[in-house]
Structure 1
Amino acid sequence: MEFRDQALAARDAAQVLAVTPTGVKNAALHAMADALLACTEAILAANAEDVRTAEANGTSASLIDRLRLTPERIGGMADGLRQMAGLADPVGDVVRGWTADNGLRIRQVRVPFGVIGIIYEARPNVTADAGGICLKSGNAALLRGSSSTYASNLAVVEALHQGLRAVGLPETAVQLVAGPREVTDVMMTARGLVDLLIPRGGAGLINHVVQGSTVPVIETGTGNCHLYVDVDADLDVAYAIMLNAKTQRPSVCNALETLLVHRDVADAFLPRALRGLDEAGVTVHGDERTARVSKAVVPVEEGDFEEEWLSLDLSVKVVHSLDEAISHIRRYTSGHSETIVTDSRTAADRFVAAVDAAAVLVNASSRFVDGGEFGFGAEIGISTQKLHARGPMALLEMTSTKYVVEGNGQVRA
């Protein structure tokens, strides 16, 4: 099917979804989750094909990790859809309402956008998450995954279609957009057919979509995430958070990429931290002070502080003060997630107020910055822009509003 035909079908489906009762949408989400589990074998077989091709093409280990599905990850996709079914439906919520002096009753009400296009790389779990979030928020989804995950995405979408059919909703509510690379550019300029675009992937993809789209875009961003160990930090807490944030899953956007340590705790913290990182297979790119602690440290280069490593690599720097840490973060942050470990309320409040990011954490791992961990069921991505949506984007962020005005014959003088 040509993209224009898909987009027109999506617009028709969006009109259906806009007035679909919550109970039907929830039933569809449960049916989609059931279908994912029932189709696990077929999805894994398709995914294995994509992984083999990626390995043969020399794809990086971090991207292959994002691409790879397991029974547990498919189970997680199904769980996300079920959790979404248990969440409140935002459509129809009254954001605010009042009665004007002339008696007009005015309400601002949440409504779907209509047709949402998601352009993304690797991570076939996004296919289920995005399809489910769009459905629950009353939107039709046009899913443009990368060619490297086509077989996986197709298998996932076929399972989602089984769930939609089971409750009588149109399959065109969730569509996979295939075709050559040029189709992405067609999608980006389909103003009037697509209401919103969301890119999810590396900086190259995001910049291409943001700079080339005539369709409105919500920008998701890369994750150059920092952890600052303050002079008043509990060093045991700092150590545990550091290891979790860096090593629990290094290939994702909320993983730790730069460690900043206050100079007054560096002698106590760095030897243990570097040993733990080395045992976990992490390559440390450290400044001069850090390099004096261990011969395993690779001398840091200026460009390293800009890196979203997405691997077992970590930039480390010793700073003289909280203000220096904040200045470093301001210079290099991608606006995703920034963390301080401290027992000082004053330091924590200063850090939270001064650091500009979608999420700022105090004494907790940045790995928690995730739609599922926030209780959203799933997410379409982490927005690092400042308009409309910021942070994990889930149901509320996939709605706009309209004003409903009711009167009894008033006319304007």
Structure 2
Amino acid sequence: MTPSLNPYDSMTPVTQAAYRARAAANTLAPLPRAQKDDVLAAIADALEVRTAEIIEANAKDIDRAREAGTSEAIIDRLTLTAERVRAIASDVRDVIALPDPVGEVVRGSTLPNGIDLRQVRVPLGVVGIIYEARPNVTVDAAALCLKSGNAVLLRGSSSAYESNTALVRVLRDAVGGAGLPADAIQLVPGESRESVTELMRARGLVDVLIPRGGASLIKNVVENSIVPVIETGTGNCHVYVDKDTDLDMAVDILVNSKAQRPSVCNSAETLLVHADVADAFVPRALDALADAGVTVHADARILAYAERSKATVVEATPDDWETEYLSYDIAAAVVDDLDAAVEHIRLWSSGHTEAIVTTSQQAARRFTQLVDSTTVAVNASTRFTDGGQFGFGAEIGISTQKLHARGPMGLPELTSTKYIVTGDGHTR
């Protein structure tokens, strides 16, 4: 028997997908902005036209999640409605409006010897995304990767398998219909952990992995991947109410930060209150949190106000200070001063987002100088840490590391750079 000359025959499905993604990335890299934007417009239109198909698939995931006893916070992340699909399509159109980072000159000069030197942005190549029950990430990641000239390998959780399959089918049809390789967008084959492990070991085929999800997922990828990783982090976010503050504003920011959508990483998980304003603020805060359905996990100084409140207040344990609840729960403590608040944040924060509510410019300045998180908000909700809110279009994730990218990651963070050296017969 003549042996097969097709190299794919000896490859696993995951490796085959990575090779196809590499070929697609080579096609995408030199494309002009107009062509990429046309494909994104086709994707946005297809999402709206095929909304019913997407929601039907999503309903199967939701039914299975409820049968498994999945928490309502996770089900909220998983759920797609017609309104949410329209919002996802709108996010894709927002990406169309953004500048194309590819080819941007980061810096350039003519050297003393006459050589022209330019550092320009180029696509990363093949980007792998490993994420949990967030089907909107499927579209966000695909749109940002296409705009920045990258192919994307998507490995969502099994809990969103039907939703992701339907979404990728819609995306691939739109991309192929626009004349580009459909393999620019692929679901990683398989639902087992082995497929994740294989993706993490596809060094040389996959240029970077971005994990989005809970602490255990991120830890697994960071510790076990031999493909370079951009680490996104959990969101143990803090709201600190300073001694000099507008009480009404502080209550509004606290409630919005915690309860506007508690299942996301930029929702607040801990409240810190300066001791000098505790008598005036804590009772109001507890009542407002009660109205929003929030349970407060309180230190002894907050517990002292519980009897005067309609709130559900329980005694905090040491674990509460490091917990990302993603639910209608918040930890709360009274601190002696701003420096004590900063020390608490340094000890327990995941480095995502922290907010100060204050009327003192000096306090705001000191807080922003001392707190080392990706985002520090002054008199604003933690919920603003978001690529869309920052004007980046959809985001690929929120990086809590300090190399390459930090904070909400938009199009520029999906590029690397290369140097172009132009001479006129120069030799060294």
- TM-score, normalization by structure 2: 0.95
Q: Distance in 1 between matches of 2:313 and 2:140?
A: 39
Question: 2:47 aligns to what?
Answer: 36
SS class of match (2:243): coil
Shift of 1:162: 2.2
Question: 2:7 aligns to what?
Answer: none
Question: Structure 1 residue 99 and structure 2 residue 115: aligned?
Answer: no
Amino acid at match of 1:233: T
Q: Distance in 2 between matches of 1:276 and 1:178?
A: 47
Aligned-pair identity in percent equals 59
Question: 2:279 aligns to what?
Answer: 267
Question: Structure 1 residue 248 and structure 2 residue 250: aligned?
Answer: no
Cα displacement string for residues 331-369 of structure 1 (whole angstroms, at most 9, x for unaligned residues): 001000000001111110100010000000000001010
Q: Distance in 2 between matches of 1:22 and 1:174?
A: 18
Question: 1:78 aligns to what?
Answer: 89
Q: Distance in 2 between matches of 1:28 and 1:374?
A: 24
Amino acid at match of 2:113: N
In the TM superposition, 1:204-223 aligns within 5 A as: 204-223=216-235
Shift of 1:166: 2.7
Q: Distance in 1 between matches of 2:241 and 2:402?
A: 27
Shift of 1:67: 0.5
SS class of match (1:310): coil
In the TM superposition, 1:280-299 aligns within 5 A as: 280-295=292-307, 296-299=312-315
Q: Distance in 2 between matches of 1:288 and 1:195?
A: 49
Structure 1 runs (4+) deviating above 4 angstroms are: none
Amino acid at match of 2:150: N
Question: 1:331 aligns to what?
Answer: 347
Question: Structure 1 residue 59 and structure 2 residue 70: aligned?
Answer: yes
Query: Which one is further off, 156-165 or 355-364?
Result: 156-165
Amino acid at match of 1:135: L
Question: 2:394 aligns to what?
Answer: 378
Q: Distance in 1 between matches of 2:150 and 2:221?
A: 20
Question: 2:152 aligns to what?
Answer: 141
Shift of 1:220: 0.1
Query: Which one is further off, 293-302 or 167-176?
Result: 293-302
In the TM superposition, 1:119-268 aligns within 5 A as: 119-179=130-190, 180-268=192-280
Question: 1:350 aligns to what?
Answer: 366
Question: 1:21 aligns to what?
Answer: 32
Shift of 1:148: 0.7
Unaligned segments of structure 1, at least 5 residues = none
How many residues matched? Answer: 412
Question: 1:387 aligns to what?
Answer: 403
Amino acid at match of 1:49: K
Question: 2:425 aligns to what?
Answer: 409
Q: Distance in 1 between matches of 2:202 and 2:313?
A: 49
Q: Distance in 2 between matches of 1:381 and 1:248?
A: 20
SS class of match (2:269): strand
Amino acid at match of 1:66: R
Amino acid at match of 2:342: I
Shift of 1:178: 2.6
Shift of 1:81: 0.5
Question: 1:88 aligns to what?
Answer: 99
Cα displacement string for residues 57-100 of structure 1 (whole angstroms, at most 9, x for unaligned residues): 11111111110111111111101100000100000000000111
The match for 1:368 among 348, 362, 384 is 384
SS class of match (1:148): helix
Q: Distance in 2 between matches of 1:337 and 1:328?
A: 14
SS class of match (2:112): coil
SS class of match (1:331): helix
Q: Distance in 2 between matches of 1:10 and 1:275?
A: 53
Query: Which one is further off, 164-173 or 387-396?
Result: 164-173
SS class of match (1:88): coil
Shift of 1:165: 2.1
Shift of 1:156: 0.6
Amino acid at match of 2:380: A
Amino acid at match of 2:290: D
Question: 2:120 aligns to what?
Answer: 109
SS class of match (1:250): coil
CA RMSD across the alignment: 0.8
- TM-score, normalization by structure 1: 0.99
Question: Structure 1 residue 46 and structure 2 residue 57: aligned?
Answer: yes
Shift of 1:292: 1.2
Shift of 1:163: 1.7
Query: Which one is further off, 54-63 or 26-35?
Result: 54-63
Q: Distance in 1 between matches of 2:283 and 2:115?
A: 68
Q: Distance in 2 between matches of 1:165 and 1:37?
A: 17
Query: Which one is further off, 156-165 or 135-144?
Result: 156-165
Shift of 1:186: 0.4
Question: 1:359 aligns to what?
Answer: 375
